[in-house]
Structure formats: structure tokens, C-alpha cells
Structure 1
Amino acid sequence: MAIALTAGMRSNLIALQNVDSLMQTTQNRLSTGKKVNSALDDPVNFFKAEDHYNRASDLAAKKDGMNEAIKTIEAANTGIEEIENLLAQMKSLASAAKTSDNTGDLSDQYDLLISQVYYMAQDSNYGGQNLLDSDSLSVEFNEDGSNTLSVSGFGVAANGTITSSGGTTTALSASDFANNTTVEASISEIDAAISMLRTESQKLSSSLSTIQIRADFTTEMENTLNTGADGLTLADMNEEGANMLMLQTRQNLGTTSLSLASQAAQAVLQLF
């Protein structure tokens, strides 16, 4: 047997159903923190936000590559600084040979330092890449990889030959401290090597500065994209909290109204 509902009761039930639906929506927003959780909520804002989030994610991956490149260059620059210290020590030994009677020991120390220059260069690698062993980097700045920067390294050979990124060479010959002329020749070789290292260090530092600027820019772009996407999808928690309170009040009022409508219907039935 079907239960007959009065117009007032039907109206109150529909109102309660609407309130319940709104409460579910509000509860979902409060639990997720978002007003747009799927394309059904707002297709335009949902897909715009997805594009922003995806681009921010792609840029974050590129920034990881930039940070690795920065560390690789820093490792190379550290190696260059220490090689310069070794060369300065070699220069001191050569200068001392001009006035020393014990050139044999000085010569042995000098030749040992030449090998240490090579070993220092070999140990200046980071993550399997070594800009002091003629490796190169290609750093990508944007999400599709169309904007890049190439960083070329240079080589330090075991025989003391240093080859610049441009292909020019200078050599550190084994010691020959027979006379002041040969000593001065060794000092000239050291000065040429130091000059080349400083030139290469300047190039690497310029590339490092560029990559750091792009990494900072990428961070700002990530923040901008994520903030923009959040603005399209995130809910105002204060507003949603107030909505929930209002809906709860409406629900209570609707339940009371339905109860009153039901009592009125029962009173009419008692007349028969």
C-alpha cells in the first residue's frame, strides 16, 4: 500500500535531499581541501589546473638536472683550485732549485707533483662526469628540452699535457734542473698551465652562474604554476566550514518542518 504524502511533506523531503547533496559536496571539499576534484566539478578549471600541475612537475624534473650540472661544475672548479695549489708548490720547488745543491730531491718532488696534478683531475668527477677529463654537459632548461646550455670540459693527461676546451695545449715536462735556463723553462710551463686553468675556470664559472639563474627561475615558475593551479581548484576552508554550519542548520529546520507537516497530516486523519 502506497503511503500518501502531502504537498508540504513532499516539499520538505525534496529540500532535505538537496541539503544532503550539498552537505556531501561540502564534506568532500573539507576532506580533500579542493573545490574541484574531478572534471565533473568544473571541467574548465580542472583541465587548466592539470596543465599547470603537469608543467610544474616537468620543470621540477629539469631542475634536478640543473642541480646535478651545478654540482658537476662545482666539483671541477674545486679540482682546478687544488691543481693550482699543486702548480704553485711546483713553482716553489723550481725556484728553490736555482740556488740549491740538492736538485735531485727537488726534481723527484717536482715529478711527483706532476703525477698528482693528473690524479687530482681524475678525482674531480661527480656522478660519473668529469669536466677535467674532457667530459661535457648538456643542460636542459625547459620542459620540452628545446632550450639547452652546453658545458665543455678540458683534459689533463698523465704525461702532464693539459688540453683546453678549445683544443689548445700546454705541457708540464719532467723536471730538468740542470741550470737556471731549464729551471726557468719549467716555471714558464707552470705559468702557462695556471693561465689555462684560470681561463677554463672562468668559462665554467660563467656557465655555473647561468645554470644557477635558470634553476632559480625554474623554482619561481614552479611556484607560480602550482599557485595558479591551486587557485583554480582549492577550496576556501573558512567558506566551506561556514557552508557546512549553514547546511546543518537548514537540515535541522527541514527535519523539524517535516515533523510538523507529518503531525498536521496525522491530525487531519484523526477527524475520520
Structure 2
Amino acid sequence: MATAISNGVRSSLASLQTITSQAAAVQNRLATGKKVNTAVDNPVNFFTAQSLNSRSDSLKGLLDGISNGIQTVQAASKGIDGITKLVGSLQSTVKQAQADAAQNRPTKAGAALATAAEAAVTSKSLKDIALDKNIGDTAGVDVLDDGIKNAATASSAGDLGVIEASDTLALSITAGATTYEATFDTANTTVRDVVNEINKSGIATAFVDEKGQLNVKGTGSETVKFGFGAGVDAAAATTSAQAGGANTAIGFLAADAVTATSELTSSNVTSAVRSNLIQQYNDLRTQIDELAKDAGFNGVNLLGGDKVSIQFNEKTGKNQSKLDIQGSTISSDNLGITQATNTQLTGFSNFQNDSDLTKATEALTGALTSLKSLSSSLGANLSVAQTRQDFTKDLADVLSTGASNLVNADANEEAANLLSLQTRQQLSQTALSLSSQSDQAVLRLF
């Protein structure tokens, strides 16, 4: 049997039930921190937030791969820094070798160009007399015709009388693939002029010693072909010098003027200091190879020719965003730094040779240029990867924040709502009590 209640009680009870239901919903939002917990609450916001959170999670999942890629590039960059320092040490080793005088340069001394009698007459040293002498016959007579040369006197420097003063003198010096040639106006050319010209060649040096002898020394260890020649003009004189000059050659400015082109050969004497530096050079070279092998990260070595691919978004196919970094195989050989031996630096010829050590220095400079170029390339890729890493972190945060704005509850607002509902609930309970008392008043009639 149904129990009838008054309209007042029924209205108060319905209001109390509604308030209780609303309070439970607010309490649930406060407990979960979300105002949209299911699709029933707000289907648009619920599924949009779900999509945003899904993408945010995918991007956060890529951060580990980006981080590994960055570490791989940084490991390679540190490797290049280390190799650059080792190349610098190699340069120092070569400079130490260059600081020690080479012992195997081809050297030769000619005949004395001045005599004791000339020194007594001129009161000059044999060296000064020889340097001041003219090459040509100042008397106008070719020594090859009558064997006459003019000795120095108190008033004249004298001459070697090798060729007629009207002829042209030529000098030809060849070392390896390098040739230096020069011509002189014989009438005004002295031994000093010839010495200065030889020193300008870069492949040989010359000086007159205290005995009055002309000394010529190669700057390298190659055989030096050294010739003088004379002719009616520069072309003829140069041809004569190149061919050895036949009877017109003065060879080493020898007094008899019959020496053909001289060949200066290496003494084959090696510098002990340079020889000792060979092992140091090779040890440093080996360390370049070892360091390059150890410059990997997580099994990927960009200095070993490996490739690293860094993915920046969650898409696939043509919509995928990524950075491919192709490494280079770095080794001493690839950098042009070759193995040295006691007497030979392969690729640079002779380690005992000044000119070859210069080539070695040039090769090391080229290696540094290559390393700087690779370092610059890695630096640019590293900057891109780090920028994308920061962007991915920020984008993931933006997506998460956007999702939260759609479904998260405002704790302050919900707390105020709950407080209001609790107040209304108390008032409804009071109203229900009053309605109930009104019904009970009928009993007083009995």
C-alpha cells in the first residue's frame, strides 16, 4: 500500500535528492581533478583531450631517441676535438725535427777562388777576395782560349776569366721535380752575385768559406744537378747550363773552368734527433686511429662511418620529420698522415729532409682543415637536434596543457560549489523537517 506524503514534503525531498546528487558529482570532480571523466560528461572535450594526450605521449616517447642522437653527435664532436689535439702534437714533433739541422743534405765545395799571393797584395781575406771577383774575363780574353785569368791586385778585384765579358752566364739548379734558372750580365757579375742568386733558389744554399772555396748545399736530400753555362744570349747560356755547359761550363766556379755540370748527392748521414722523433710521431699517429674508434655512443660511431637517424615527430612516410647524419671514417691515413720510418716518411719522402718535413707540415695543416670542416658540420647538426629536442618538449607540454584545459576541473570553483551545495543541503533538510512538522500538526486536533 503506497504511503501518501504531502506536496511540501515531496518537494523538499526532491530538492534534497538533487542537491545530494550534485554534491556527489562535485566530490567526484574534486577527487579525480577532472570535470570530464567520461564521454558522457562531454564527448567533444573528452575525445579531443584524449587525442591531444596521445600525441603528447608519442612526442615524449621520441625524446629518448633524440637524446641518444644528440649524445652520439657529441661523442663524435669530442672525438674530433681529441684528434685535433693529437694532430697539433704531430705538428710539434715535426717542428722539433725541423729545429734540428738535417745531416744528409748534398754538399760540395769547389776549388779555391783566391790565393795567398792575392791576400798578401790586397790585404784582404781569401773569402772577401773570392766574393769580389768577376766571373768574366775583364781583359776581354776567354780563358778557354789562352788560359789567362786576372789576379786580384791592390786596385782591382780581379776575375776568374772563365768566359768573355761580352757573353751571357746562366745558372741552372735542379732538385727532384724543381728547377731554378737565372742569367747574368757577365761583365758586371761577381761571385757574390752568383752566391746570392743560388740562395734565392730555395732548393740550394751557397757561401764562400775562409779558404776562398764556393760551397753549395741542397736544402733537401735529393741529388742536386748544378750547372753553369755561357752563350751569346740568355737562351743559349741557359741551354748550355742545363746540358752541363760542355767546355763553356764553369762547374763549381772551378779555376780550371773545365768541370761540367756537378751533381750533389746526399751524404746519407741521418740526424739522431730526427730519427728518435720518428717513434714519437708514429705513436701519436696510432693514437689518432685508436681515438677515432672509441668515439662512439651506444654502438654508433660517426667517426667510423656510421649513420644516425633522429626522428622528430610521430608520423610516418613522407610526413615524417627526421635528421639523418652520415658520419665519416676518420683515420690517420684518411687524413693524409702516413707512417714514418727511420729514413723515410711515406708520402712525404724523407723524414731527414727539410723540404719533405715542410710537406709533412702542410699535410698536417690540411688534416686540421678537414677536421674543422667535419666539426663544423657536426656542430650544425647538433644545433638542429638540440633545437628540435627543446621544441618537442615544449610542444608536448602545450598539448598536455591543452588537454588539461578541456577536461581538468577548477579545484577552487568546485570547492565553492561543494560548499554551496552543502549549505543548500542543510536548508533542504530543514525545509523537509518543517514540512513534516506541518503534517504532524493535524494530530493535535485529536
Aligned twin of 1:59: 59
CA contact (8 A) 1:49 1:233 kept: yes
**CA-to-aligned-CA distance 1:195-229 (integer Å, 9 cap, x gap):** 11111111111111111222222122112211111
Q: What letter corresponds to residue 161 of structure 1 in structure 2?
A: D
Moved more, 127-136 or 241-250: 127-136
**Out of 364, 368, 384, which is 1:210 matched to?**
384
Instruction: Mark the runs of 5 or more structure 1 residues left unpaired by the alignment.
Output: 163-169
Counterpart-to-counterpart distance in 1, 2:54 and 2:404 = 13
Structure number with bigger Rg: 2
CA-CA distance at 1:271 after TM superposition: 3.1
Q: What letter corresponds to residue 120 of structure 1 in structure 2?
A: L
Counterpart-to-counterpart distance in 2, 1:118 and 1:270 = 111
Q: What letter corresponds to residue 291 of structure 2 in structure 1?
A: M
**Out of 380, 405, 411, which is 1:231 matched to?**
405
Moved more, 257-266 or 1-10: 1-10
Residue aligned with 2:19, SS? helix
User: How do residues 71-90 of structure 1 correspond to structure 2 at under 5 angstroms?
Assistant: 71-90=71-90
Moved more, 139-148 or 106-115: 139-148
CA-CA distance at 1:17 after TM superposition: 1.1
Counterpart-to-counterpart distance in 1, 2:363 and 2:61 = 44
CA-CA distance at 1:259 after TM superposition: 1.1
Counterpart-to-counterpart distance in 2, 1:205 and 1:155 = 17
**Out of 305, 309, 318, which is 1:134 matched to?**
305
**CA-to-aligned-CA distance 1:226-245 (integer Å, 9 cap, x gap):** 11111101111111111001
**CA-to-aligned-CA distance 1:159-199 (integer Å, 9 cap, x gap):** x223xxxxxxx421012222113322322221221111111
Counterpart-to-counterpart distance in 1, 2:276 and 2:17 = 98
Counterpart-to-counterpart distance in 2, 1:40 and 1:239 = 21
Counterpart-to-counterpart distance in 1, 2:37 and 2:293 = 53
Aligned twin of 1:22: 22
TM-score w.r.t. length of structure 2: 0.57
Instruction: Mark the runs of 5 or more structure 2 residues left unpaired by the alignment.
Output: 101-271, 346-350
Residue aligned with 1:59, SS? helix
Q: What letter corresponds to residue 94 of structure 1 in structure 2?
A: V
CA-CA distance at 1:104 after TM superposition: 2.5
How many aligned positions are there? 263
Q: What letter corresponds to residue 45 of structure 1 in structure 2?
A: N
Moved more, 81-90 or 29-38: 29-38
User: How do residues 23-62 of structure 1 correspond to structure 2 at under 5 angstroms?
Assistant: 23-62=23-62
Q: What letter corresponds to residue 227 of structure 1 in structure 2?
A: T
Aligned twin of 1:171: 336
Counterpart-to-counterpart distance in 2, 1:93 and 1:247 = 87
Moved more, 190-199 or 178-187: 178-187
Aligned twin of 1:161: 333
Moved more, 40-49 or 213-222: 213-222
CA-CA distance at 1:149 after TM superposition: 1.2
CA-CA distance at 1:119 after TM superposition: 1.1
Aligned twin of 1:165: none
CA-CA distance at 1:99 after TM superposition: 2.9
Counterpart-to-counterpart distance in 2, 1:269 and 1:211 = 86
Counterpart-to-counterpart distance in 1, 2:26 and 2:276 = 85
Aligned twin of 2:433: 259
Higher helix share: 1
CA-CA distance at 1:105 after TM superposition: 2.4
Residue 294 (structure 2) pairs with residue 123 (structure 1):
yes
Aligned twin of 1:148: 322
TM-score w.r.t. length of structure 1: 0.92
Counterpart-to-counterpart distance in 1, 2:378 and 2:62 = 20
User: How do residues 71-110 of structure 1 correspond to structure 2 at under 5 angstroms?
Assistant: 71-100=71-100, 101-110=272-281
Residue aligned with 1:36, SS? coil
Q: Give the alignment's Cα RMSD to 1 decimal.
A: 1.5
Aligned twin of 1:219: 393
CA contact (8 A) 1:23 1:244 kept: yes
Counterpart-to-counterpart distance in 2, 1:269 and 1:114 = 114
Counterpart-to-counterpart distance in 2, 1:183 and 1:17 = 100
CA contact (8 A) 1:173 1:186 kept: no
Give me the identity figure in percent: 40
Moved more, 180-189 or 191-200: 180-189
Counterpart-to-counterpart distance in 2, 1:220 and 1:65 = 16
CA-CA distance at 1:113 after TM superposition: 0.7
CA-CA distance at 1:63 after TM superposition: 2.4
CA contact (8 A) 1:133 1:156 kept: yes
CA-CA distance at 1:270 after TM superposition: 4.3
Counterpart-to-counterpart distance in 1, 2:14 and 2:330 = 83
